[in-house]
Structure 1
Amino acid sequence: MFTNRKSGTIHRRRVQLAAAYLAAVALTFTAASCGSPSGSGSAPVPVPPATGDPVSAQTTALGTILVDGRGRTIYQFANDKNNTSTCAAACLDNWPYVPAPDSLPTSSPGVSGKVGSITRDDGHRQLTVAGHPLYTFVVDSSPGQTNGQGINLNGGVWTVVSPAGAPLANPSPASAATQTSIAPGY
């Protein structure tokens, strides 16, 4: 009997991703139920708006970071070097790349880093800021979520991106309660 190793690997990654998603949801519900009572004066966490711009800088629980046109958090991969993406195949199942528009904007709201693009090995164009390829995280199901911040997944660390295009490795202290951790082994 033959076994398909690729199929087993894909299934295992899907199970791991589902476990990560469930852990993130559980942590979100736990954090929400442990929150401060209403009327305590704590400010709500801002949710980035969907602007339609390929990339913009928006205020979130982690501070001012880059988001895509739907308001979803943008990340960069520590393993990417010199305008080259190293996230391919199964990595893209977790970290979809941010596609570059046909015509790059000359400026983007609040973005101080140079907006550009690279051509991926599959021929598609990926958006970059300050030479860093940009991605979203599948566990972030809505604007304002930053579940991928600081996790080590697919062989490297993922971080949200500052308006200058640099990784935001040390987010604002207000974000500590909103970060989620992914199960060990990722």
Structure 2
Amino acid sequence: MKRFAGVTGVVALGVAGLTACGGGSGYGSGSSSAPASAPASSAASSPAGGAAKLGTATVGSLGKIVVDGNGRTVYVFDKDSKGKSNCEGGCLALWPAVPSGSGAPQLTGIAASLVGTITRSDGSKQLAINGMPLYLYAQDAQAGQAKGQAFGGIWWVIGADGKKITAHSGGSGNGNGY
């Protein structure tokens, strides 16, 4: 009986260790661990030290919106102001900043005059449209999703013209926004 209990304990520890390393998708886990912020490192689909990429895609009833180089929807935050991000800490875990990369961003379907960068409080550079910082939503696990649209009534997708789209997509969106 003691041997069975010892083997069971070892198996349980092994499974717990594998589960901790495996982590599933990481999106929506509610933690601020690496998986939830992982999209930020590749958010703009730029090689290490490369330029960020932005383009457009038609997403559901929202029409043609701005996406990153991986086709993931980008958003603006109503609590930001032109040139300044107010999304920090836990907010960034759910809404990773779109990094600017190095050099001029590669743009497809977006006027270069609309796109710039801001400097975040930690000194990192973030892409912006019309001066408004850009973010991804961690729950948008793949291209073509816009689950963050109208989230908390303060997160919005951006049209190819650089203006936020405030139409509700019928999906997510209650709570305080982060």
Fold-level similarity (TM above 0.5): yes
Match of 1:159 in 2: 156
Maintained 8 Å contact 2:149/2:173? no
Deviation of 1:181 after TM superposition, in Å, equals 2.2
Structure 1 unaligned residues grouped into runs of 5+: 1-16, 20-49
For the pair 1:180 / 2:171, whether they are aligned, the reply is yes
- Give the aligned residue type for 2:172: S
Match of 2:75 in 1: 75
For the pair 1:168 / 2:165, whether they are aligned, the reply is yes
Structure 2 unaligned residues grouped into runs of 5+: 1-27, 31-43, 47-51
Match of 2:54 in 1: 55
Question: For each residue in 1:109-144, what CA deviation from the matched residue of structure 2 results, as whole angstroms up to 9, or x when unmatched?
Answer: 111351100111111100011111000000001100
TM-score computed with the length of structure 2 as normaliser: 0.65
Deviation of 1:82 after TM superposition, in Å, equals 2.0
Change in 2 beyond 3 A, CA 1:182/1:169: closer
- Give the aligned residue type for 1:169: T
Match of 2:40 in 1: none
Question: For each residue in 1:48-70, what CA deviation from the matched residue of structure 2 results, as whole angstroms up to 9, or x when unmatched?
Answer: xx986621111111200000011
For the pair 1:96 / 2:96, whether they are aligned, the reply is yes
The number of residue pairs the alignment matches comes to 130
For the pair 1:108 / 2:99, whether they are aligned, the reply is no
Whole-Å separation in 1 of the counterparts to 2:150 and 2:143: 18
Give the root-mean-square deviation of aligned CA atoms.
Answer: 2.4
Deviation of 1:18 after TM superposition, in Å, equals 4.0
Q: Percent identity?
A: 36
Runs of 4+ in 1 over 4 A off after TM superposition: 50-53, 182-186
TM-score computed with the length of structure 1 as normaliser: 0.63
More helix by percentage = 2
Maintained 8 Å contact 1:140/1:146? yes
- Give the aligned residue type for 1:180: G
Match of 1:144 in 2: 144
Question: For each residue in 1:131-162, what CA deviation from the matched residue of structure 2 results, as whole angstroms up to 9, or x when unmatched?
Answer: 1100000000110011000011xxx6101011
Match of 2:133 in 1: 133
Change in 2 beyond 3 A, CA 1:123/1:63: same
Whole-Å separation in 2 of the counterparts to 1:84 and 1:102: 20
> Greater Rg, structure 1 or structure 2?
2
Change in 2 beyond 3 A, CA 1:64/1:18: same
